[in-house]
């Protein structure tokens, strides 16, 4: 499959990292050009220093069941899936504006992040393709 | 109107089911090829056994006003709108990975769900069209 | 850059207005045809009468840091960015169904809103372009 699949990863609750990993991996495996633009609270999931990523307030009670189900079904972590996507050509960028607001530099971010770029650069890369906002 | 409109329905709070119904129905009525891929906590809204679908924590206080407004304005339920979309050709799929994680089989799901498929199949169907992530 | 960039602005927590402003402004500056369709709880951010826009429950503790970071980095408010987008040709529409449900008329809405339209009209304008759901 040709085409681009671009993901704006904004929401920072733990559950939302699962579709990030799944969709990035699936689209890259289908030979789509995948780009992830990490911004908002989702940046907290991409810092070298581990941070507590909260579960959504409304579904806190479901967290243990979901975690157990993922283990039992041997679902890889979102981070593993994103690394697989990268091995197949995906790129991960952090939003320059939001990194600045949170006082984060390239050095604070996990090596899975390729670079820090602005929203305009991301939109240019995404031109003509599919874009989703998580 | 030609074209495809694909919806990844992930968020599981009650409010998010309204745009699912409205957009699926409107796009199908415009003769777009509509596909819904239900995953994440949104799966809880598609089980045969009725579950409590929570209102978002931040807007709990607004729930009664919204429900009353929908009744007064005779807005159909999201389920009715989705069924109308299906009568006009839309399809609804549940995510195989997330169904597995939650221990749900086809038999546990509401008949509005056509089938259980993987993310790769969904992306293939969505190729070249518009995709939104709710 | 040619192409259309359409934003369905649904989520109503304060943080989500930032990507609305940034993406609308960036896309308009790149000469894309930008349309914003305001619906759901996001309508509360577009009323003339100022309302309390809540921060997401899970990241309440981050609010002061984010606000301070935005001030320090001289990031314009989402409203300023959206007005800039409009000066470059963007349009902002409110969802007729949701306005009805909330008992809001054109007169209750901030002048940044060009008109009240239905979902079908929005989808027609968005035809063939990129659409994101915030």
Q: Which residues of C touch B30 (CB under 8 A)?
A: 120, 123-124
Provide the pLDDT for residue B1.
75
| CATH number of C47's domain | 3.40.1260.10
Chain B residues with CB inside 8 Å of C126's CB? 130
Residue ranges making up the domain that contains B98: 4-133
Q: pLDDT by residue (tens digit) across A59-85?
A: 999 999 999 999 999 999 999 999 999
Which pLDDT value is given to residue C1? 75
Long-range pairs, A78-84, Cβ under 8 A, ≥24: A78/A17, A78/A18, A78/A20, A78/A21, A78/A22, A79/A17, A79/A21, A79/A112, A80/A21, A81/A21, A81/A22, A81/A24, A81/A25, A82/A20, A82/A21, A82/A24, A82/A25, A82/A36, A82/A112, A83/A112, A84/A25, A84/A28
Q: What is the pTM of this model?
A: 0.97
- Which pLDDT does position B89 carry in this prediction? 98
Residue A25 region by backbone torsions, left for phi larger than 0, else alpha for psi between -120 and 50, else beta: alpha
What integer best gives the mean pLDDT of chain C? 96
Question: Would the CB atoms of B40 and A19 count as touching at under 8 Å?
Answer: yes
| CA A32 vs CA A6, A80, A82, B38, B128: distances in Å | 10, 19, 14, 22, 11
Per residue in A21-56, pLDDT tens?
999 999 999 999 999 999 999 999 999 998 889 999
Record: contact C13-B58, CB cut-off 8 A: yes
Pick from A41, A101, A131: which is nearest to C70 by CB?
Answer: A101
Question: Chain B contacts of A62, Cβ < 8 Å?
Answer: 41
Residue carrying the six token digits 């314009």: C76
**Is the ipTM, as predicted for this complex, more than 0.85?**
yes
Collect all residues from C whose CB is shorter than 8 A from any CB in A: 1, 3, 5, 15-16, 18-19, 22-23, 26-27, 29-30, 32, 56-59, 62, 65-66, 69-70, 73, 75, 130-134
**Tens of pLDDT along C60-81?**
999 999 999 999 999 999 999 9
Q: Regarding beta strands A115-117 and A130-133, do their DSSP bridges make them parallel or antiparallel, or are they unpaired?
A: unpaired
- In this prediction, residue A1 carries a pLDDT of 75
Q: Which of C5, C16, C130 should be substituted to probe chain A, the one whose Cβ sees the most A Cβ atoms within 10 Å?
A: C130
Query: Residue C3, class by beta-carbon neighbours within 10 Å (0-12 exposed, 13-18 middle, 19+ buried)?
Result: middle
Domain total for chain A?
A: 1
Q: Which structure tokens are listed for C116?
A: 């009240």
């Amino acid at each position: 499959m040709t085409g681009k699949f671009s993901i704006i990863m904004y929401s920072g609750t733990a559950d939302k990292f699962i579709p990030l990993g799944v969709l990035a991996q699936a689209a890259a495996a289908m030979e789509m050009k995948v780009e992830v633009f990490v911004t908002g609270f989702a940046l907290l999931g991409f810092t070298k220093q581990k941070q507590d990523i909260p579960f959504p307030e409304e579904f806190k009670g479901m967290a243990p069941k979901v975690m157990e189900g993922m283990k039992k079904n041997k679902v890889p972590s979102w981070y593993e899936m994103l690394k697989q996507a990268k091995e197949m050509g995906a790129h991960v960028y952090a939003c320059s504006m939001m990194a600045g607001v949170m006082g984060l530099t390239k050095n604070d971010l996990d090596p899975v992040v390729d670079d820090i770029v602005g929203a305009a650069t991301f939109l240019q890369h995404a031109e003509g393709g599919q874009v989703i906002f998580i």
